[in-house]
């Protein structure tokens, strides 16, 4: 399978392609101009972006990668400390911490870097991709905290409000809480799928006041409308959309007593797709006139120019959740602080490699290398992204 790159060039099925400001590189042939600072930083400190991405030989297609990953992926043992924090509207958010008190690299908890992880649409701290991310970060000596969306972290809903991709108020509350506990510790946001949408929307709205030093997203749906169309293709609906809708039903059923104050729960539970669920539930709970308005507000692609911290994004061209015609390549090429790594294969939150792909693969290694690069070379990445000048002064 091939897809067109800039100037009509082709990205082969085994290559990963890195897009940065006015820059592109078709790997592994290495056709690039290494004069843009962020791309140079990534090649220096995240060598995985220069690797030849070879998916599992018997698992090439995006649908198969996604399904196999859900079945086979290992689950590293992680012991969390749970904390419930209150929100302004009287609700509560469940946070799962890995404090990493035994960190040799950062023995002082007040300055220990923190990775804030945002799971996908019905995910929580127990998802395999979250466990692997926590394991990677802890190995480097960092602290982790998983932000479970309301109602998904085992806690009770105290108000008839859940979560959506466009609403960033809960994330803002979490960041304020984390920074309040550890004001001298840098925070990096890591968003997966819908969590990546929330993270990007937050970074765009808060700009330089986000409280984060950088962000990374994996398999983010860039355009909610296009993502929805892709997920409603017959096979994608059967394999993925139907399952996710059922998971959303279970969440609503669990909190039925309080949610029936604002929606017709029986009507919501008859939704047969994510779009129908968002029409009957999400758009109503968050005050949108229509699901179309909600999807427009939730899509992070056009908001990237408003971000002000370094951001690395990983997507696969065969992701059934995030179609390649939605990738904001042209926008990214005009931004000094955003890099987009594309692979022709990899599916949704999968990127499986090796004959028996249970352990860490491309996705986990990219995450680990970028997080380490951000925390260990803060001044260098700020200069690379035009955030700080050569004299070490932060640009306004």
Write down the pLDDT at residue 23: 46
Is 193 noted as a catalytic residue in this protein? yes
Read off the tokens for 295.
């999807």
**Hey, what domains does the chain have and what are their CATH numbers?**
31-221+303-383 (3.40.50.1820), 224-298 (no CATH)
Write down the pLDDT at residue 5: 31
Which of 319, 322, 361, 372 does the annotation list as catalytic? 319
Which of 193, 219, 283, 299 does the annotation list as catalytic? 193
Write down the pLDDT at residue 17: 73
Give the C-alpha separation, 14 to 369, whole Å.
21
Looking only at the bridges linking them, the beta strands covering 214-218 and 311-316 are: parallel
DSSP assignment string, 296-352 = HHH--GGGGGG--S-EEEEEETT-SSS-GGG--HHHHTT-SSEEEEEESS-TTTT--
Give the list of residues 6+ apart from residue 188 with CB closer than 8 angstroms, or none: 113, 114, 115, 116, 212, 213, 214, 215, 216, 371, 374, 375
Give the C-alpha separation, 209 to 195, whole Å.
19
Write down the pLDDT at residue 21: 64
Q: Which whole-number Å values give the CA distances from 115 to 44, 165, 253, 276, 303, in the listed order?
A: 22, 20, 32, 34, 23
Which of 94, 348, 361, 372 does the annotation list as catalytic? 348
Is 319 noted as a catalytic residue in this protein? yes
Is 140 noted as a catalytic residue in this protein? no
Other CB atoms within 10 A of residue 164 CB: 23
Read off the tokens for 167.
């609403």
Provide the b/e sequence for 146-158 (b: ≥16 CB within 10 Å).
Answer: bbbbbbbbebebb
The answer to whether 155 and 94 have CB atoms below 8 angstroms apart is yes
Determine which helix (DSSP H) or strand (DSSP E) holds 161, and give its type and residue range: none
Q: Which of 275, 277, 254, 257 is nearest to 267 (CA)?
A: 277
pTM above 0.85, yes or no: yes
Write down the pLDDT at residue 10: 26
Write down the pLDDT at residue 53: 86
Q: For 94-155, give the secondary structure using H, E and C.
A: EEEEECCCCCCCCCCCCCCCEEEEECCCCCCCCCHHHHHHHHHHHHCCCEEEEEECCCCCCC
Give the C-alpha separation, 254 to 271, whole Å.
16
Tens-digit pLDDT string for the chain (396 aa): 222 233 222 233 345 777 766 544 544 322 233 337 999 999 999 999 988 888 999 998 999 999 999 999 999 999 999 999 999 999 999 999 999 999 999 999 999 999 999 999 999 999 999 999 999 999 999 999 999 999 999 999 999 999 999 999 999 999 999 999 999 999 999 999 999 999 999 999 999 999 999 999 999 999 999 999 999 999 999 999 999 999 999 999 999 999 999 999 999 999 999 999 999 999 999 999 999 999 999 999 999 999 999 999 999 999 999 999 999 999 999 999 999 999 999 999 999 999 888 989 999 999 999 999 999 999 999 999 988 555 555 554
The answer to whether 353 and 57 have CB atoms below 8 angstroms apart is no
């Amino acid at each position: 399978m091939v897809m067109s790159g800039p100037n009509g060039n082709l990205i082969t099925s085994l290559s990963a392609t890195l897009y940065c400001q006015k820059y592109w590189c078709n790997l592994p042939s290495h056709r690039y101009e290494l004069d843009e600072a962020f791309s140079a930083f990534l090649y220096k400190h995240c060598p995985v972006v220069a690797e030849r991405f070879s998916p599992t030989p018997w698992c090439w297609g995006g649908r198969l990668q996604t399904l196999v990953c859900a079945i086979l992926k290992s689950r590293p043992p992680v012991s969390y400390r749970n904390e419930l924090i209150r929100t302004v509207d009287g609700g509560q958010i469940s946070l799962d911490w890995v404090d990493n008190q035994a960190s040799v690299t950062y023995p002082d908890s007040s300055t220990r870097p923190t990775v804030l992880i945002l799971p996908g649409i019905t995910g929580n701290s127990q998802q395999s991709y979250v466990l692997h991310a926590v394991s990677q970060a802890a190995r480097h000596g960092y602290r982790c905290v998983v932000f479970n969306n309301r109602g998904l972290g085992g806690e009770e809903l105290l108000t008839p409000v859940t979560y959506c991709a466009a609403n960033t108020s809960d994330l803002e509350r979490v960041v304020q809480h984390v920074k309040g506990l550890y004001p001298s510790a840098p925070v990096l946001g890591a968003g997966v799928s819908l969590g990546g949408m929330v993270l990007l929307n937050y970074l765009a709205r808060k700009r330089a006041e986000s409280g984060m030093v950088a962000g990374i997203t994996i398999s983010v749906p860039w355009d909610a409308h296009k993502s929805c169309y892709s997920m409603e293709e017959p096979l994608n609906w059967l394999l993925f959309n139907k399952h996710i809708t059922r998971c959303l039903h279970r969440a609503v059923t669990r909190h039925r007593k309080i949610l029936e104050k604002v929606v017709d729960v029986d009507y919501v539970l008859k939704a047969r797709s994510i779009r129908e669920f968002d029409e009957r539930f999400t758009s109503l709970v968050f005050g949108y006139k229509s699901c179309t308005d909600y999807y427009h507000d939730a899509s992070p692609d056009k908001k990237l120019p408003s971000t002000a911290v370094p951001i690395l994004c990983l997507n696969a061209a065969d992701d059934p959740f995030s179609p390649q015609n939605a990738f904001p390549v042209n926008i990214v090429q005009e931004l000094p602080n955003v890099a987009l790594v594309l692979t022709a294969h990899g599916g949704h939150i999968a990127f499986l490699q090796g004959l028996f792909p249970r352990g860490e693969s491309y996705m986990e290694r990219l995450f680990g290398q970028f997080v380490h690069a951000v925390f260990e070379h803060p001044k260098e990445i700020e200069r690379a992204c035009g955030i700080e000048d050569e004299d070490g002064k932060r640009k306004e």
